[in-house]
């Protein structure tokens, strides 16, 4: 095994990682072409040379591409709702949510997930912008490559990004734990890099790897189904060819001599006969026809290949419109999508670790103690598509056993922002209802009280002494005298 000297200077690292990036670009190119249905990258690679000689560019651009469905069926179930610090009893962190929204990660996180599923990995860079606020940027594996520290699967030694502008100028950035180097490429190679201190003291790049295993190279979600995709397109193209040449009855004429010295008028007359009704002068002439080709054989073969693709990718059959395109319902659809849901949860496990590291780096930019909060937890939306009525019934049962309202709303699918708004509105509504109840009780008490009686909250009125009672008391005193 060849032994190479480890790069020591920034320029040596730039040259080394430029080569590593080229290798990585070649590795991710094929699955990227298939996901994008890029005919320049993958069309007719499955056809024989004889076929290409005969048909040329006739079928260039034709693809019956199921590959994007495999990726999109997973990515649409991966939605980050927020981050929680301090344990499962805590609510979503407001500052983390603000950082997330400021960097437009509701949309860009989905793009990062798709790139990781297609190419095997994407990358997230964390740096400080001009306002000293965290700047989080998802990056493609076409532009960023990392070097792990020897013996570690997590700790990065360096990271490298290379890109070009619209005018052809190439730029690169090299990150180390202590410095960040930037350079441009001239006619003689990379210019001397500009050095800047790295205040984070760690490489500010976080890989977002798909199907992480105990090996460093990530794995594309579609690499295993590319041969099946080629086979489906091969059979589909054969069906198109058969429909062109053998899908109609083929007429046969025998027992006649070809015309000699045919002129244009006779050829036109023969063509008219063939197009309509054929009349022949020779008594030995015979005619007949071959039956058209049965194209249903191609359909059955394509259905079988699609079933294999569905089984290997764990995408439900009804996503591919198999079985007549009729989707299951009730418990059947839950069972049919169980494999896909489990697959999405497994991706959430690995992607969540990366997003938690990103958020800790973001707080490190702000010199916030949450930079060391290893109890950070990514809050994901439920990857299982549930019937809303059945879900509400199950949440009612959970409430009966004492589950808090915040947890019930989270399980229903509300985002942390929506939960906060719901709780605020519920509190205001209860206050209004309490005030209304007090007003109603006061009004009812006033109606039910007798004349002269006091109402609740008012002082009791005393009646003036009666004149008859005064006269009786005076008579009593005179008799006594």
Q: Which residue has the higher pLDDT, 390 or 429?
A: 429
What is the rounded CA–CA span in Å between residue 67 and residue 75?
A: 13
Residue 432, domain extent: 387-447
Q: Clarify whether residues 375 and 393 are in a common domain.
A: no
Helix (H) or strand (E) holding 83: strand 80-84
pLDDT at 451 over 60: no
Region 78-106: mean pLDDT is: 88
**Residue 226, token pair as written in the block:** 């590319």
The answer to the question of residue 473 being in a domain is no
Pick from 14-23, 144-153, 454-463: least confident: 454-463
What is the rounded CA–CA span in Å between residue 318 and residue 333?
A: 9
pTM of the model: 0.76
pLDDT category at 298 given cuts 50, 70, 90 is confident
The answer to the question of residue 61 being in a domain is no
Region 93-117: mean pLDDT is: 93
Query: How many domains does the chain fold into?
Result: 3
Task: Provide, rounded to the nearest whole percent, the portion of the chain with pLDDT above 70.
Answer: 76
The answer to the question of residue 474 being in a domain is no
The answer to the question of residue 472 being in a domain is no
Q: Clarify whether residues 317 and 331 are in a common domain.
A: yes
| Predicted local confidence at residue 41, as pLDDT | 44
Q: Clarify whether residues 107 and 132 are in a common domain.
A: yes
pLDDT at 126 over 90: yes
Q: Clarify whether residues 344 and 333 are in a common domain.
A: yes
Pick from 21-30, 263-272, 389-398, 433-442: least confident: 263-272
With beta carbons less than 8 A apart as the criterion, state whether 147 and 21 touch.
no
Distances (CA, A) of 353 to 191, 377, 417: 37, 8, 22
The answer to the question of residue 304 being in a domain is no
Q: DSSP assignment of 139-199, as one string?
A: E-TTTEEEEEPTT-SS-EEEEEEEEE-TTS-EEEEEE-SSEEEEEEEETTEEPPPEEEE-T
The answer to the question of residue 476 being in a domain is no
Query: Which of 54-68, 210-224, 226-240 has the largest mean confidence?
Result: 226-240
């Amino acid at each position: 095994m060849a032994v190479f000297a480890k790069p020591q200077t920034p320029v040596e690292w730039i040259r080394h990682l430029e080569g590593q990036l080229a290798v990585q670009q070649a590795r991710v190119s094929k699955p990227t072409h298939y996901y994008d249905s890029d005919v320049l990258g993958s069309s007719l690679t499955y056809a024989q040379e004889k076929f290409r000689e005969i048909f040329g560019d006739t079928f260039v651009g034709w693809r019956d591409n199921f590959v994007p469905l495999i990726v999109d069926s997973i990515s649409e179930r991966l939605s980050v709702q927020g981050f929680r610090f301090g344990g499962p009893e805590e609510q979503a962190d407001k500052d983390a949510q603000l950082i997330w929204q400021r960097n437009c990660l509701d949309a860009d996180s989905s793009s990062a997930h798709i790139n990781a599923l297609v190419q095997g990995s994407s990358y997230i860079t964390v740096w400080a912008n001009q306002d000293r606020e965290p700047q989080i940027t998802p990056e493609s594996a076409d532009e960023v490559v990392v070097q792990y520290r020897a013996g570690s699967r997590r700790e990065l030694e360096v990271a490298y990004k290379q890109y070009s502008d619209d005018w052809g100028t190439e730029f690169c950035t090299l990150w180390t734990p202590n410095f960040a180097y930037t350079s441009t490429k001239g006619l003689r190679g990379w210019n001397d890099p500009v050095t800047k201190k790295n205040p984070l003291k760690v490489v500010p790049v976080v890989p977002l790897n798909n199907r992480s295993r105990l090996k460093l190279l990530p794995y594309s979600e579609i690499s295993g189904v590319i041969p099946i995709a080629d086979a489906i397109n091969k059979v589909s193209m054969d069906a198109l060819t058969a429909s062109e040449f053998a899908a109609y009855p083929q007429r046969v004429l025998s027992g006649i001599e070809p015309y000699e010295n045919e002129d244009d008028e006779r050829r036109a007359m023969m063509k008219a006969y063939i197009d309509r009704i054929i009349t022949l002068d020779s008594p030995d002439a015979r005619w007949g026809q071959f039956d058209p080709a049965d194209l249903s054989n191609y359909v059955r073969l394509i259905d079988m290949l699609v079933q294999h693709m569905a089984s290997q990718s764990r995408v439900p059959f009804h996503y591919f419109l198999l079985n007549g395109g009729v989707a299951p319902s009730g418990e059947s659809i839950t069972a049919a999508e169980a494999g896909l849901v489990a697959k999405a949860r497994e991706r959430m496990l690995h992607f969540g670790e990366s997003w938690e590291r990103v958020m800790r780096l973001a707080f490190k930019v702000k010199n916030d103690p949450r930079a060391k909060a290893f109890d950070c937890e990514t809050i994901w939306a439920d990857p299982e598509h549930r019937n809303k009525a059945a879900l509400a019934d199950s949440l009612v049962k959970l409430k009966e056993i004492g589950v808090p309202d915040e947890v019930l709303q989270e399980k229903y699918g509300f985002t942390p922002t929506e939960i906060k708004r719901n709780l605020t509105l519920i509190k205001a509504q209860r206050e209004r209802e309490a005030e209304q109840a007090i007003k109603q009780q006061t009004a009812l008490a006033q109606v039910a009280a007798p004349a002269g009686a006091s109402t609740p909250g008012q002082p009791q009125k005393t009646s003036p002494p009666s004149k008859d009672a005064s006269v009786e008391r005076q008579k009593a005193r005179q008799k006594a005298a």
